[in-house]
Every structure is written in C-alpha cells, then in structure tokens.
Structure 1
Amino acid sequence: MSENTPYDLRKVLDEIKQIPGQYHETDKEIDPEADLAGVYRYIGAGGTVKRPTQEGPTMMFNNVKGFPGSRVLIGLQASRKRVGTILHQDYKHLGQALNEAVTHPIQPVEVSKDQAPAQEVVHLATDKDFDIRKLLAAPTNTSDDAGPYITMGVVYGHSTDGKESDVTIHRMVLEDKDTIGMYIMPGGRHIGAFLKQYEAINEPMPITINIGLDPAITIGATFEPPTTPLGYNELQVAGALRNEAVQVVKGTTVNAMGIARAEWIIEAEILPNTKMQEDINTNSGYAMPEFPGYNGTANPAVNVVKIKAVTHRQDNPIVQTTIGPSEEHVSMAGIPTEASILNLVDRAIPGKVTNVYNAPAGGGKLMTIMQIHKDDINDEGIQRQAALLAFSAFKELKTVILVDEDVDIFDWNDVMWTINTRFQADRDMLVLEGLRNHPLDPSELPEYDPARIRQRGMSSKLVLDGTVPYDMKQQFVRAPFKEMPNWQDYLK
C-alpha cells in the first residue's frame, strides 16, 4: 500500500505486520459463537477479562464458520504500546497526544462513491435473501450473550436540521434479519440527544454503522462531554491525529454520512419512540460482557434500529470486534478520558498535573492515576484539587490515585509502593459520597449500600493521596543509584 494512501484499517495492519509479535493470523476454522472470543481470551485480551489472559498480538481469523470470504479481526488496540505504534506516538504520552488533537481538530471531507471502498458492494434490505445475521460475522463473546454483537461499530448521525453531526460507539445486538437492538446509555451520548429531536417530531433517525476502521477513529469517537460538546464531530480528532481529513461519503439509501474507507457500512434508521427487549431471542438475562469484567444485564428496552442496506469492500471485508472487558476497551475509553482530564486540569491548574493514566484495573473508565508536580509549599493541597477536577471532567470516574513525579504511573508496583510508603489511610484517603457513576458497576446497587445508594449508578468515590508533603520531600528521596547511559552495552 502506498505511503500516500489515506489511513484506514488495512494501512494500519500493513504497518504493524512489520513489527514482530504484534500481528497473527490463522486459517483454522473458528466458530464466531463464543469460540472466537474464547480463543482470544487466552492469546491477547488482557484488561479485566477472567484469568488466565495476557497482552498479546492482534489476531485475524481468516476462516469464520458460516461466513466464507469474510474475516474477523480482534484485539488491534488491546495493547497500549501497540496503540502508540499505530498512532506514531510515545505510548506513555497518548493522553497528551489526544488532548492536542481534540483542541486542533481537522474536519472530515466528503468524497464521491467511486472514492469510497466501503461502498464497492451493496446489499439492500429489500432483497429476498437479505439477512444481516448471515452476512455480517458478528461474534458472541460468551454462550450467555443475547446474540451476535457489533462491538466496534461507529454510529454516525446528525441533528434534524443537519447542522450538527456526531459519532459514538454503542453495544448493538443482531435481533433478526433486518433489526438491531442498540443500547444508548442515558445522558452524555450525542447520538441520543439527536434521537430525542427526531422522536419529538416522530420521525426515524437516519444513521450509518461503520465497522473496520483506523484506530484513530475508534479511539477519537469515545470522547465525551465536556471535552467534546454537542455538535463536535469526533472524526475531527482522528483527522488531527493523522494530519489528514477523514473521508466520508453519502449513504446509498439513507440521508446520513458513512466513513468512506470503512470495511463495512450498515445504513439504517433508529425508529422513534420504539423499544424492544435486548435478549428477546435468548431470555438469558444477559447482554454481553462489559468493561468492569462482569456480564452486562440485558436491557428490557433498547432502541430499535431497522436496516436499509449493507455495503462493504469487495476484497475479503474485515469485521472488527472486541471483547467487552479487554485491554482494547481500556485503550478506546481510557486514553480519551486521560485527554479529557488533562484538558480540564491544564486550564484550571496549569503545570500541576504532568501525566494521567486510566489503568486496566478500572476498565479505562473507573480509575485514574495522576502524576503531580509541586513547585513550592504553596502547592500543597493542589493535588487534591486536581482529583476533584478529574471527577468533574468525567462522572464515571470512581477512584483517583495521586503520585509524585518520581513514580512511574504505568508500573503498578511503583504505584502501590507509593501507597505503602507515602500514604497514611487516616489522613491521605478521601471518600466522597452520593455521586453519579457508571451503572455497569455491580457494586452501585441500592441493596449493596441502602444508606448511601438511592438508585443504580450512584457511588462513593475515592481519592488516595500518595504525594509527599512538600516540606518533607527530603525524607522521601529514593535510593540514588548511579546513572549509566551505556548500560545496554553490557547486554551485547
């Protein structure tokens, strides 16, 4: 592929194939119903997936049972170091890179159908033999899932007047031959805000669901308010990360834009004021595994999406998928959250937070580690102000750990060393009660703590302040080993 070819999933794969240990493909037949995720769980899922698991290569399954000619890719972003390689950034500073991108956006550019590989093949939902369940190799993560799920589909929609547009990622289950159940989490998702406009006039909302994308798009799409307000199209973030505009194209059957270099585009409409049971086909009570590491509860009333057409590339189109609690979710949700926190603290207390890491233990959403810089005694307490700012920037955040500049926030041993040697629970632990958090955390149920949790999605929040009091810095100096710039010479 030419260096001048615009970025898409295939260009990214060509690049990482050149790096040993980062890509693996197999021609061995795999069943997409639980087996595919079950295999990758061992190979490279990581995150909060049930052990044993590990960080490993992204994996392409070339022989998917029941889907000749279609391939499934999983785990492309299930390694922070691999994400850094993909985005041509230092993996430890991806939050800063995303913050820079979101503040210097590049608008997407419209191209014609003949410039859109995603529309090379067109299947109409009115075709006699159309069935999305036989066309799209969407896996199930476990045998309890409500059905095959689209887990890496970027939903692209616009306001009723067409002046504002947005992209978001939702869990979407294939319910029947032309119907998708889409869970739109209440509050914060702009596709949901646009849908309310359509429901107010009782009209269906046209959308596209784009699958198989450059990770710059899937990571950028997970920004949330207040960093990206209503009407901020996150495709602009991907444009800035690549320093080239994302190419978009008009749908063939709906008044909505699709991502021109996707592998697949589902053209559809969200029906107004219409809901359905998410697990209507299984009645298992479960949806799919979610980022905290538990099976998500099936929602009794998800939005109903009716498919109008499916388009895809001619040559072995790739279905991109992920495991809900995997390290891939951490990359997609956590890195933009780091950027959002940095964005806010840089404006409120510039220079005091040097780096932020949303660790896998929190699924990318529930926990952040903040590295604090104190200039003098007057900065004492600024670290706790930073924690409060982080909570205000991202309501789903539950735990903040504060550390000094000499601590590697990407090394759990170093972070926990801080909590063991620079922390006293009676003075350095702060608990904030009665705040909103993420409804997928199973500890946030009224029966867990009736006195403090009035309804699901409320939580107490925790700050662990592992920073050294400024006037005691000299009592917490780490052992001063000699700097040896040539240390690698001794490994030759």
Structure 2
Amino acid sequence: MGKMSAAATKIDLEKFRLRRFVERMVEMGEMDVRDEPVALTRLSEIIEGTPKGVLFRKAGPEQVEIAAKVLGGRARIAAAFDTTVDKFGDEYHKRMATPQEVVEIPSGDAPVHEVVMTGKDVDLTKLPFHPQHEFDGSCYLSSGIDYTIDPETGRTNVGSRRLSLRNRNTTGTNVTAPSDLKRIYQGCVKRGEKLPITFTIGSHPLDMFAATSRRPGDEISLVAQFRGEPAAVVKSITNDILVPADAEATLEGYLDENGYVELEGPFGEFFGYYGAIHKDPVFHCTAITMRRDAMYQTLLHGSAFSLDQSDGAVMSAMRTEAEAMKILRATVREPIAVHMRETSGGSCTLLVSMRQRIVGEARSAIAALFGGMLRLKHIMVFDEDIDVFNDKQVGWALGTRFQADRDLIVLQGMMGMSQDPSLDGRRTGAKAGFDCTRPFGCDGQIPFTRCAAKVFKPSAKFKSVEEALRSEPMYYAQIVEALGSDDGRDVACALDELRQAGGLGRDRDGRYHLMSAKPGTTGIVGELYHDPNVGT
C-alpha cells in the first residue's frame, strides 16, 4: 500500500468523523446537549438516566467535549448506515458483501495527528477517564477501538476494549474474553515479545461495527467496508499500525511481555452484571495524538435496567436481527420479522414471526438459528399475526399458544457466551426454543382466532338477512355490515325470525347459514368443536 496525499485520495476526512455524526444526531433530536460544566463523577448517572444520547460540552476540569451513547438507539445506528430502521438489515448485508479499499495517507495530512504528544508529554491523567459503575475497579475510557498486527501473519486485527487508568502512561485493559487479540497476545508472551497496539478514542459508529465483527483477512478493511467507501488510514507515530486518519484521538503503545500479571476490574459488563476482578496485561502508552478540537466518546456499558439504551446491546441486537433474517430466508418460506431484545444484552433472546407453510417450519427455524448463531440462548417463534416488537402481543401469544410439554425444545451441552452469569463458570449450558405458533392447519378455526372489536364500514349490499345469507354464510357482524345497520338489534331479531321459521343453521365457527331445521331451533352445520368444559 503506497501513501497518497489526502487531496489525491479525494477522501473526505470529515464525513466519518465522530463530531459530524454527533452534530447530525443533535439535529435529529437523538442527543441531549449539556452546555453547563459537569464533573466527571456525574457523567454516568446522567448518561444512564437520559433516554437519548448525551453531548457534554464541558466535562471535567479540562471542560472537554464528550459524546455518550452514540450507538445507544436504533434510529442512531440506522442513520450511521444512511438508512432507516426497517431497511437496516438489507443495507448491512449490502455493505458486508461489497469490499472497499483503505488508502494510507501521510501523517501530516491526518487530522488525528494534528496534536502529537510523546515521551514526557504523555499524560493519560489529563484524558476524561471517568467512573462508570458503582463497584468498578477504576475510572475508564470505555470506547477504545484497538488495532494490532498479528506478528505471525502480518494481518491487522481490530477489536474494542476498555481502558482503566493507572497513572500518566499505563492503563489496565481486558484481554481475557475469547478473541483474536487474546490469541495474538498469548503468542507474544510465549515468545517474550511486546505487542504493539494503538487505540482510537472517539470514532464513527461504523468503525465500532468493524471492531466488533470477525471476518477472515485483514480487518482494517472492515472499516472501509462498513463505511461503504474507501477509508483513509495513517501509520501510528511510535509503531507501524495503521488506524483511521479521521479518528478524534489515539493512544499508541504496547501490551508488555509479562502477560496476565495485574488485577483489573470489576467492571459492569454487557449482561448487566459485574465481571469479576481478574488478571490482565498492562498497556504502556508511548504517544497520544488527537485533533485540535477532539471530541471524546464514552459508552453506556452494562447498566442492568438500561440495556435497551446501551451502545453494545443495541448494536448487537440490530446486527443479530440482520444475520438472523438472512438465515431464515434460506431456511423457511416466509419469515416476517425478527426482534432481538436489547434488555437481554442484545444477544440472548430472539423473537421471530413467520407464516408457516408446512408442518414443522417453526422448529426448522429454531434449529437453523441455533446452528448459525452461537450467541443465541432463547428463540421464540410466533405466527405472522404477532408483532414481535410488541411485548403485549408476545406475552399474549406465549401465554395462549405455548405448551411446555409439546412446544419447548431444550438443547443441552451447547456453547454459549462465556460472560453469561447463569452459566456459573461452566463452558457449556442449555438453550431453549419456544414454538409459540398455532397448531398447523388451524387458520380460520374460531378457537384459534384472536378476538377484537369489529370496525364497521356499512355498505348496505343487501336488503334483508335472508338475501345476505343466500350469497354466502356470514358471521353476525358481517351481516350487520352487509345490511348497513348502525344498530345490530334489528339483525338479531331478523335471525330469530328465520330460526322460528325453521330456516336457520350455524356451523362450528359460528357463521349463519340458510338451511332446513326444526322450527324454533338453530340447526347445526357439520360437527361442533370439542367443548373444553365437558367433564369439568
């Protein structure tokens, strides 16, 4: 990859800047703006207590700008992809299927290198690390995106990690969860080598999608791929790692060769519980670079009853929905919608609605989703009449269409998310599928038809009940509508006249028919359904 000047690349170094995206979110009404000075100790309570994203204009004694929960809402993430929430899945897959190039530019052209501090000028204590959860082990920068080069393959790895402040030039970080970075670092420790690493602090939401995706090849290209166009990168000042040239700030340095030696945590994790204190490597900072007007970023991470606003849960939920719909379209004939609940961390409980065309399709969907998506723990499948984004409808269908001995599918010994506290330290656990669909082939049967008020649209197609029933069997409300009645009692009386004359019948679903019957009684067309009260 040869260097090109920023002008020669024709890449807009402001378009995917965090500040520009935040300004757009303010215009959309997605961000609350706090113009007053706010102490660092107050940030998290404000962030957690505000449904929108938050822009602090004067945070901490340095009065820096910090944007919070930039990814903590579906409309925000859709806007980052220049689409709408309902079309997000299609846009996500379009970008993932379209490779884009990265172009290296000189340091002098990179906005993130407008200010460079090395050596004795490095002072992490001047950056807005702030307390995030009550029992955390330190103050944190939670929005770090890490860039490393695997010494064995030369491949760039991109991930996302928190940093906990220790002193002017070192922090803790978390490299214990299964990841490529963990594998790369453990290899370095075995060889007695440091691992160079650069963190960006303050990035466009699309860069966070790149950081939390795992794909074959050099992952720096994911930054451009998610942006949907070429991306400018710049070599770090004190190592050879390429990072987005339009980031707000970077922290360069290395993870030392001593391995997992320092205690880190606790920290509020994405499931809403604390990750226990554990040993981790130490990050040594060799350079801080930033834009002259850098805007910092913080995430809402792991606040138990606010997970529907947390950056990670919303991002994971929308990504999971997109991937799940792709699997369903290849598995069943007519998937309708999917909804991953952010309140379960954005990775546990997936709701699916579909129209079953053959017996067993709901179970086929459950099997395919568990097979294709490790992070899923519970899958609930509903009929097409259920809005899976409506908890009232979901609760109603779960309560009335699901029988545990018939419709519960339990898979044991399954790999899950290692940080799931319900595993209690185990490597494997159980997953459950809930078939909340009606018995196949029962569409139109009255015992399986949900009831609601009739919205009448009088059309006066017929002059009498008898004339209406000559056209076809009808429900009572259909007759009222077909006669243009705005009362209904007249229809009830007219039906009784037919009954008294021995000309009225009803089928098991309740429709009225013209038929010969014993005068004064209603005839029965066909067989009735089983009466559930028989024998009680």
The two structures share one fold, judged by TM-score above 0.5? yes
Report whether the alignment pairs 1:6 with 2:15: yes
**Equivalent residues of 1:209, 1:265 under 8 A apart:** yes
Match of 1:82 among 72, 76, 88: 76
Aligned to 1:198: 188
**Equivalent residues of 1:219, 1:331 under 8 A apart:** no
How high is the TM-score relative to the length of structure 2? Answer: 0.75
Aligned to 2:46: 39
**Could you tell me how far apart the structure 2 residues matched to 1:214 and 1:413 are?**
35
Partner of 2:94, secondary structure, is: helix
Match of 2:142 among 139, 151, 168: 151
Deviation per CA, 1:272-309: give whole Å up to 9, x if none. 35123334xxxxxx52211222222122x112221111
Aligned to 2:101: 107
Amino acid at match of 2:98: H
Q: CA deviation at 1:263?
A: 0.8
**Equivalent residues of 2:340, 2:350 under 8 A apart:** yes
Amino acid at match of 1:473: D
Listed as ranges, the matches of 1:70-469 within 5 Å are 70-124=64-118, 126-127=119-120, 130-132=122-124, 134-161=125-152, 163-187=154-178, 189-224=179-214, 228-229=215-216, 231=217, 233=219, 235-236=221-222, 238-279=223-264, 286-299=265-278, 301-325=279-303, 326=307, 327=309, 328-347=311-330, 349=331, 351-374=333-356, 376-377=357-358, 380-445=359-424, 455-469=425-439
**Equivalent residues of 2:332, 2:364 under 8 A apart:** no
**Could you tell me how far apart the structure 2 residues matched to 1:208 and 1:354 are?**
42
Amino acid at match of 2:354: I
Amino acid at match of 1:41: E
Q: CA deviation at 1:262?
A: 0.9
**Could you tell me how far apart the structure 1 residues matched to 2:169 and 2:128 are?**
15
**Could you tell me how far apart the structure 1 residues matched to 2:221 and 2:450 are?**
44
**Could you tell me how far apart the structure 2 residues matched to 1:421 and 1:463 are?**
16
Deviation per CA, 1:126-150: give whole Å up to 9, x if none. 21x5321x22202221232111222
**Could you tell me how far apart the structure 1 residues matched to 2:415 and 2:407 are?**
23
Partner of 1:249, secondary structure, is: strand
What's the C-alpha RMSD, in Å, of the aligned pairs? 2.7
**Equivalent residues of 1:58, 1:74 under 8 A apart:** yes
- Larger RCO, structure (CA 8 Å, separation 6 or more): 1
**Equivalent residues of 2:350, 2:376 under 8 A apart:** yes
Report whether the alignment pairs 1:22 with 2:38: no
Percent identical among aligned pairs is 24
**Could you tell me how far apart the structure 1 residues matched to 2:373 and 2:266 are?**
25
Deviation per CA, 1:3-47: give whole Å up to 9, x if none. 96432212212222222x3122213222223x2111221112xxx
Amino acid at match of 2:219: N
Deviation per CA, 1:129-184: give whole Å up to 9, x if none. 5321x222022212321112221111111221564222111233222322222212
Q: CA deviation at 1:218?
A: 1.0
How high is the TM-score relative to the length of structure 1? Answer: 0.82
Partner of 2:166, secondary structure, is: strand
Partner of 1:274, secondary structure, is: coil
**Equivalent residues of 2:188, 2:194 under 8 A apart:** yes
Q: What number of residue pairs does the alignment pair up?
A: 439
Partner of 1:471, secondary structure, is: coil
Gaps of 5+ in 1: 45-56, 280-285, 446-454, 485-492
**Equivalent residues of 1:93, 1:355 under 8 A apart:** no
Q: CA deviation at 1:209?
A: 0.7
Gaps of 5+ in 2: 1-9, 458-536
**Could you tell me how far apart the structure 2 residues matched to 1:43 and 1:441 are?**
26
Q: CA deviation at 1:65?
A: 2.1
**Equivalent residues of 2:81, 2:206 under 8 A apart:** yes
**Equivalent residues of 1:16, 1:86 under 8 A apart:** no
**Could you tell me how far apart the structure 1 residues matched to 2:368 and 2:173 are?**
32
Amino acid at match of 1:39: I
Say if 1:460 and 1:116 are closer, same or farther in 2 by CA, change over 3 A.
Answer: same
**Could you tell me how far apart the structure 2 residues matched to 1:111 and 1:483 are?**
67
Partner of 1:418, secondary structure, is: helix
**Could you tell me how far apart the structure 2 residues matched to 1:100 and 1:464 are?**
31
**Could you tell me how far apart the structure 2 residues matched to 1:252 and 1:3 are?**
21
Say if 1:205 and 1:17 are closer, same or farther in 2 by CA, change over 3 A.
Answer: same
**Could you tell me how far apart the structure 2 residues matched to 1:163 and 1:443 are?**
38
Say if 1:258 and 1:387 are closer, same or farther in 2 by CA, change over 3 A.
Answer: same
Deviation per CA, 1:228-287: give whole Å up to 9, x if none. 24x351652x534432123211000012112211111111212235123334xxxxxx52
Partner of 1:28, secondary structure, is: strand
Say if 1:468 and 1:109 are closer, same or farther in 2 by CA, change over 3 A.
Answer: farther
Q: Which moved more, 1:2-11 or 1:87-96?
A: 2-11
Partner of 1:390, secondary structure, is: helix
Amino acid at match of 1:95: G
**Could you tell me how far apart the structure 1 residues matched to 2:96 and 2:394 are?**
29
Partner of 2:275, secondary structure, is: strand
Say if 1:111 and 1:440 are closer, same or farther in 2 by CA, change over 3 A.
Answer: same
Say if 1:355 and 1:102 are closer, same or farther in 2 by CA, change over 3 A.
Answer: farther
Q: Which moved more, 1:351-360 or 1:463-472?
A: 351-360
Larger Rg: 2
Q: CA deviation at 1:346?
A: 4.4
Report whether the alignment pairs 1:65 with 2:60: yes
Partner of 1:254, secondary structure, is: coil
Partner of 1:416, secondary structure, is: helix
**Equivalent residues of 2:143, 2:160 under 8 A apart:** yes
**Could you tell me how far apart the structure 1 residues matched to 2:167 and 2:427 are?**
31
